[in-house]
């Protein structure tokens, strides 16, 4: 392949190149410099690996597509990978695109996970176990989820008590073993630990005794 034309994008981070057959490719400035085709004054330049140029073009398209998706909402690497595969990008292109996004700071799953934990806890009556399961289903890694739960600074004991009050049980239900079991089971399904549930029931009873 003989590269005969090179033009930088208005932002300067991308380069459109064209070969002697009229085929055009858009690649990153960094990749263009590695190929020696970043400056029109240096052309023409012969590039031996045509497939590699096509790969660089696809990689940039995949990166731009992921940035577009991330502009709507935070997504895990697993979700982005699935989206790229739907667009029929090769696994090699997908993996390289994810590496670029992570290296450039556009995809920081640890920070995204922390943001998700806080958002879910603020909008839903979920405890840590339910949040953990939700994020796992969304493709976030276990270590990122655990770190987010450790760093979120959320009082899940207090949240469990708040949820119990919002359920508005009759105070007498706390003295009915069957009803109490139902309330505890519901809180458990929301993802609260047995320790948080015991705390919430105890504090609820103390409040109603006053």
Confidence (pLDDT) at 11: 86
Coil, helix or strand at residue 44: coil
Confidence (pLDDT) at 210: 58
* Predicted confidence (pLDDT) per residue in 137-172, tens digit: 988 989 999 999 999 999 999 999 999 998 877 666
* Predicted confidence (pLDDT) per residue in 74-94, tens digit: 899 999 999 999 999 999 999
Rounded CA separation 48/83 (Å): 32
Task: Assess contact for 190 and 125: CB atoms under 8 A.
Answer: yes
CB atoms within 10 A of CB 65: 16
Strands 45-46 and 14-19: unpaired
| DSSP per residue, 75-130 | --HHHHHHHHHHTT--HHHHHHHHHHHHHTTS--HHHHHHHHHHHHHHHS---HHH
Residues 6+ apart with CB under 8 A from 72: none
* Predicted confidence (pLDDT) per residue in 128-140, tens digit: 999 999 999 988 9
Rounded CA separation 143/158 (Å): 25
Task: Assess contact for 156 and 127: CB atoms under 8 A.
Answer: yes
Q: Which helix (H) or strand (E) holds 132?
A: helix 128-137
Confidence (pLDDT) at 3: 93
């Amino acid at each position: 392949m003989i590269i005969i034309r090179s033009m930088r994008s208005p932002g300067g981070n991308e380069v459109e190149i064209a070969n002697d057959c009229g085929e055009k490719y858009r690649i990153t400035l960094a990749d263009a410099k590695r190929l020696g085709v970043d400056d029109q004054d240096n052309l023409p330049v012969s590039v031996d690996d045509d497939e590699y140029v096509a790969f660089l073009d696809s990689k940039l398209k995949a990166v731009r597509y992921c940035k577009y998706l991330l502009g709507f909402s935070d997504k895990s690497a697993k979700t982005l990978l699935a989206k790229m595969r739907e667009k029929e990008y090769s696994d090699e292109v997908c993996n390289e695109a994810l590496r670029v996004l992570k290296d450039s700071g556009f995809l920081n799953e640890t920070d995204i996970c922390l943001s998700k934990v806080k958002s879910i806890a603020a909008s839903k009556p979920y405890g840590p176990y339910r949040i953990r399961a939700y994020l796992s289903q969304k493709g976030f890694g276990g270590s990122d989820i655990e770190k987010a739960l450790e760093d979120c600074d959320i009082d899940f004991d207090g949240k469990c008590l708040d949820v119990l009050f919002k359920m508005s049980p009759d105070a007498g239900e706390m003295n009915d073993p069957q009803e109490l079991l139902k309330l505890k089971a519901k809180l458990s399904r929301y993802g609260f630990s047995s320790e948080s549930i015991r705390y919430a029931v105890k504090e609820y009873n103390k409040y109603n005794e006053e």
